[in-house]
Amino acid sequence: MSSVIVMGAQWGDEGKGKVVDWLSDRADYVVRFQGGHNAGHTLMIGNEEYKLSLLPSGILRKNKMAVIGNGVVIDPTALLNEMAGLQKRGVAITPDNFMIAENAVLILPIHSLIDKAREQLRGVGKIGTTGRGIGPAYEDKIARRAVRLCDLTDGAELKKQVSALVAHHDIFLKTMNIDYPSVDAMTDELLKQAKIILPFVKPVWRELDKADEAQKKILFEGAQGLWLDIDHGTYPFVTSSATAAGNAILGSGLGAAFNGYCLGIVKAYATRVGSGPFPTELLDATGELLGQKGREFGTVTGRKRRCGWFDAVMVRQSCKIAGIHGLVLTKMDVLDGMEKLMIGIGYDIDGKQYDYLPASPALQCRAKPIYEEMAGWQESTRGTRKFRDLPANAVKYVKRLEELTTRPITLLSTSPERDDMIMVEDPFVMANR
Ligand code: GDP
Ligand code: IMO
Ligand code: MG
């Protein structure tokens, strides 16, 4: 068995899409297991830029099976738009290379309306969600009133379900003066969409079990990052799913993945989009510079990402919580030319030192980083594909991050371009050890 789980170890946007696209060359199946179209994964293939939100990044390679697992929340309109956009660009998407779990939950138009209205009510305390209805859809799932893909086969039953869901949310929507599509309109639209989507819908757990029996290589593509995890993140400024590697199993139905190799993706610095604590955030010219050089604008909402120094304490915590075996360091090239680099190695909270980030939002907000300084490098690392070609100070930086996070850096990314990667160890080989 050979499975690799890719997950973000910071606040998302670490470069998971690029890493998954690169690794998918070695895989047979690429599986999304949580999140929805709040994710935005950008891939650069030659001069072509692809932005994927729901479709697994493996969809762009030939002869790979792209899979959306049951843990993902699916907005059918967003899914069909994304599929059509790629098909227009010549990407084949057929039931031979793409499947969706029959027990995945649907995001309906009211979910996005509720999401945005709640954010408005929160005012300054807003989470800064993507407004895509992710949280409300997961709430309905847990409350056992969600509509799922398998419900699209029976029009009469579907209408009853949509009607019950709307009845539940009606008071809030009416109080907030929000117009929303009628039950009939939503049901009719779903039935139209079902005609295109249903051929892709399968018992994914079974297909993955067969793949595993046939010793296929399975690559799991996480969305968001550990610090946006519903349990372990900077709650309440998090997303509504479990982003940690363990959810790859629950969100796909492949129990055997437990034996795989877990890769945590980290940027060589840190970014966050949306509200919430960010101890190593830089609100100065250096933060601006990182944002400009790293082109730190959200893929989904276009919002400017907040930037800061690499926080080794948080990444170490991610590794331990999620069972990350090795790290992938991306965007090394963005640090080229910096005179000095800071690494967060601890926090001072009200005069007390911490070697971890405690859960209380009040404490998290008051966490002042304790830094270690390192010399930067003036040479360009952009496009470097061999570890020995990295400048000496870049190597020192990598080694220090390994020590502080207690995990090896197995891959490095040195530009947005697909093949600009340095492989120290092959994660699929490691998965078999
Ligand atoms: P994801 O959500 O984790 O897949 O990350 P995003 O795609 O949202 O954001 C990462 C951004 O960094 C994308 O625009 C990538 O093209 C880009 N990127 C990925 N790796 C590198 C790298 O090594 N260097 C640079 N300069 N950009 C990178
Ligand atoms: P990828 O997969 C970065 C953030 C939002 C907000 C919080 C909750 O591209 O790394 P939600 O809409 O999920 O309820 O928003 O989570 N967020 C992300 N930030 N990358 C993402 O995905 C994100 N998905 C959600 O900005 O702060
Ligand atoms: Mg992203």
User: Is 229 an annotated catalytic residue?
Assistant: no
Measured from the Cα of 20, ligand 1's closest atom is 4
* Rounded Cα gap, residues 290 and 339, in angstroms: 13
- Per-residue model confidence as pLDDT tens for the chain (433 residues): 589 999 999 999 999 999 999 999 999 999 999 999 999 999 999 999 999 999 999 999 999 999 999 999 999 999 999 999 999 999 999 999 999 999 999 999 999 999 999 999 999 999 999 999 999 999 999 999 999 999 999 999 999 999 999 999 999 999 999 999 999 999 999 999 999 999 999 999 999 999 999 999 999 999 999 999 999 999 999 999 999 999 999 999 998 656 789 999 999 999 999 999 999 999 999 999 999 999 999 877 889 999 999 999 999 999 999 999 999 999 999 999 999 999 999 999 999 999 999 999 999 999 999 999 999 999 999 999 999 999 999 999 999 999 999 999 999 999 999 999 999 998 888 888 7
Number of other residues whose CB lies within 10 A of the CB of residue 429 = 11
Task: Please tell me the predicted confidence (pLDDT) of residue 257.
Answer: 56
Task: Please tell me the predicted confidence (pLDDT) of residue 2.
Answer: 80
Beta bridge mates, 43: 50
Amino acid at position 259, single letter? N
Task: Please tell me the predicted confidence (pLDDT) of residue 269.
Answer: 98
Q: Does the CB atom of residue 18 touch ligand 1 within 6 A?
A: yes
Return the closest-CA partner of residue 14 out of 282, 409, 340. 409
Q: What is the pTM of this model?
A: 0.97
Measured from the Cα of 115, ligand 2's closest atom is 14
Which residues keep their CB under 5 angstroms from ion ligand 3?
Answer: 13, 40, 299
Residue 318 alpha carbon to ligand 1 centre in Å: 20
- Asked whether the CA dihedral 152, 222, 1, 385 is positive or negative, the reply is positive
Task: Please tell me the predicted confidence (pLDDT) of residue 255.
Answer: 83
Residue 130 alpha carbon to ligand 2 centre in Å: 6
Task: Please tell me the predicted confidence (pLDDT) of residue 301.
Answer: 80
Q: Does the CB atom of residue 264 touch ligand 1 within 6 A?
A: no
Q: Which of 331, 336, 338, 419 is the pocket-test mutation for ligand 1 (most atoms within 8 Å of CB)?
A: 331
Instruction: Name 362's Cβ contacts closer than 8 Å, sequence gap at least 6.
Output: none
Q: Does the CB atom of residue 14 touch ligand 1 within 6 A?
A: yes
Minimal-distance CA residue to ligand 2 atom 11: 129
Task: Please tell me the predicted confidence (pLDDT) of residue 432.
Answer: 80
Residue 271 alpha carbon to ligand 2 centre in Å: 12
Q: Does the CB atom of residue 381 touch ligand 1 within 6 A?
A: no
Task: Please tell me the predicted confidence (pLDDT) of residue 429.
Answer: 87
Ligand 2 pocket at CB < 6 A: 8, 11-13, 38-41, 127-130, 132, 134-135, 223-225, 228, 239-240, 273-274, 299
